[in-house]
Amino acid sequence: MVQLADLFSVPEMCLLCNVAEYFEKNHIDYNPEILFHDIKASVQSCHPVMHEIVMKDVGEYIERNSMLPAYFQKLVNAGKKLFLVTNSPFAFVNRGMTLLAGENGGNISTLDKGKIYYEGTVKQLQDLTGWRGHTVLYFGDHPYSDLADVTLEHGWRTGAIINELTHEIETLNNVNFKTNANWLQMLTQLIEDIQDYQCEAAHICLEKWQKERDLLRNQTKMVFNKQFGSVFRTYHNPTYFSRRLFRFADIYTSDITNLANYSVSHTFYPRRGVMPHEYISYFM
Backbone angles phi and psi of 237, in degrees to 5: -100, 140
Of 142, 141, 122, 140, which is closest to residue 132 (Cα–Cα)?
Answer: 122
How far is 107 from 65, CA to CA, in rounded Å? Answer: 18
Counting Cα atoms < 13 Å in the Cβ hemisphere of 30 gives: 19
Structural contact between residues 4 and 12, judged by C-beta atoms closer than 8 angstroms: yes
pLDDT of residue 249: 93
How far is 46 from 281, CA to CA, in rounded Å? Answer: 57
Sequence-ordered list of residues with C-beta below 8 angstroms from that of 232, at least 6 positions apart, any chain: 168, 238, 239, 241, 242, 245
pLDDT digits (tens, 9 = 90+) for 253-273: 999 999 999 999 999 998 887
Structural contact between residues 108 and 72, judged by C-beta atoms closer than 8 angstroms: yes
Which comes out higher in pLDDT, residue 2 or 176? Answer: 176
Residue 112 reports pLDDT greater than 80: no
Sequence-ordered list of residues with C-beta below 8 angstroms from that of 241, at least 6 positions apart, any chain: 5, 143, 231, 232
Structural contact between residues 145 and 3, judged by C-beta atoms closer than 8 angstroms: yes
Prediction pTM value: 0.78
pLDDT digits (tens, 9 = 90+) for 181-199: 999 999 999 999 988 888 8
